[in-house]
Amino acid sequence: MKKFCILTLTHESHNRPMYLKDTIESFLNNTEYDQIIDWFIYINKTNQEFVTICNELIDKYKDRVDFKVVHSNVNNGVGYGINRLNDLSIDYEYSLFLEGDWRCMSSDVSGQPKTWLKTSLELLDENQDTDAVFLRRYINDYESRSTGIFGTYSVENCKIQLKDGLKYFIVPINLYTNNPLIRRNKYFYDNKTFPLQEFFDSNGNPTELKIDEVIYNDWGQAEIKAQPVNKNIKYIMLMWGNFCHMDHMSDFDKNTQRFLIHESNSGCKKYKYGQSTCKFGYFNIFPHFCTLCSTTISDLELEKMFARESYLLDTLEINKNTWTREQKIQFVKDQNLNPETDLDQFIKYFI
C-alpha cells in the first residue's frame, strides 16, 4: 500500500480555476515534504481555463508533484466527485482531502511550521486509534460557530499532544466533514462513511450542485448524510489549523499576505498563534465574543463560549428597547466575572 496522496475536487463556477491554482501553490509554498506527492484532481465540468492552468502547474511543479487530473465534461455533484477521487486513492494509507478553494496559510500567519504535514502523518502512525487530522483554520468566531466543529466535542475527552513545535489535541467527535482533512482511508470505508451518497433526480440529472449563485436542492447533502451513526471519528486537531476557506477571506490583503486587523476586532492581544493574538486562534474577533472570554475558560472550551454567546446576544436582543445603556453594560459585565482583560475596550463597540 502506498503512503500518502492529495485529493482535490473543484467544479465549474466563477473564479474556480484561479482558486484551484491558489490552493495548490499556497500548499506547495508553505509545506515541506520529502517525496514527490501524488495529487489527484477531479474537475466537475472542466473548461479551457482549467485545462490551461492545470497544464501550467504540471510543468511548473513536475519535480515536486505527480498530478493526475480528471477533466469531466459534466458536473455530477460533490458526492459523486469525492467518490471518484476516493476510487483513485484506494491503494493509499492516507489522503489529504483538499477541495479547490482552500488557502494554506504561511507560517507567519498561521503559526504552523512548514513541517506540519510530516508531523501530522507521523502522529497518525503513532496513534493507530485515530482516524483523521483536522486542519481548518477559522478566521473569526462567527465562522467557527456557524460552520465549525469545535463546539461539538467534550473537553473532558481531549488529550493534548505536542510534537516538533506543533500543538494538537486528540478527541472523538460524532461528525464527518469535507473540510481539509488527512484521512486514514481504511477507517472511512470500515465505518461505512464511504462511498458518499450521490444525488440525481428521476431523469438522471445531478441535483447536488452549486454553480455561481445558483444552489440546487441537494447541495451539501453528501456531507450531511455521511454523518456517523453512534460511532465517533477520533480526530487529531491541529491547533488552530492552517487552511482558510477562500470564500471567507475578504479581510485578507493579497499584497501583504496578511489579514487586515482593526482595533475593534483585534481581541485582547494576550496570545500568539501566528498573526492571531486570540486564545482561540481567530484573526478577527467580534467584540461581544471577547467580553465573554474568561481566565477560567481554557482554549479547548469553545462550547462554553458559544453557549454564553447565544445567551448574551439573545438577551440583549429581547431587551434592546427596554433596557438603558447602563443596564446593558452591567448585564454584559455580569456574564464574565473573570475577564481576560478590561471589558470596556470591547463593550464600546456594540453597546
Q: Give residue-wise pLDDT tens across range 126-158.
A: 999 999 999 999 999 999 988 878 877 878 889
pLDDT for position 147: 83
Residue 321 has pLDDT above 80, yes or no: yes
Confidence of residue 30 (pLDDT cuts 50, 70, 90): very high
Confidence of residue 232 (pLDDT cuts 50, 70, 90): confident
54-63, 100-109, 294-303, range with the lowest pLDDT: 294-303
- Confidence (pTM): 0.95
Residue 231 has pLDDT above 80, yes or no: no
State the average pLDDT for the chain. 95
Q: Which residues of 292-329 are buried (b: 16+ CB within 10 A; e: fewer)?
A: bbbeebebbbbebbbebbeebeeebeeeeeebeeeebb
Amino acid code (one letter) for 82: I
Hey, which residues does 284 pair with through a beta bridge? 140
Tens of pLDDT, residue by residue over 158-170, are 999 999 999 999 9
Residue 125 has pLDDT above 70, yes or no: yes
pLDDT for position 230: 63
Amino acid code (one letter) for 80: Y
- Of the chain, the percentage scoring pLDDT greater than 90 comes to 88
Residue 84 has pLDDT above 90, yes or no: yes
Residue 273 has pLDDT above 90, yes or no: yes
Task: Tell me which residue of 156, 302, 141, 149 sits closest to 235, measured CA to CA.
Answer: 149
116-120, 192-196, 226-230, 303-307, range with the lowest pLDDT: 226-230
Cell matching residue 2: 502506498
Residue 67 has pLDDT above 90, yes or no: yes
Question: To 5 degrees, how large is the angle CA 234–CA 235–CA 239?
Answer: 155
Helix, strand, coil fractions of the chain, as percent rounded to 5: 35, 25, 45
Confidence of residue 212 (pLDDT cuts 50, 70, 90): confident
Contact predicate 196/79, CB 8 Å: yes
pLDDT for position 124: 98
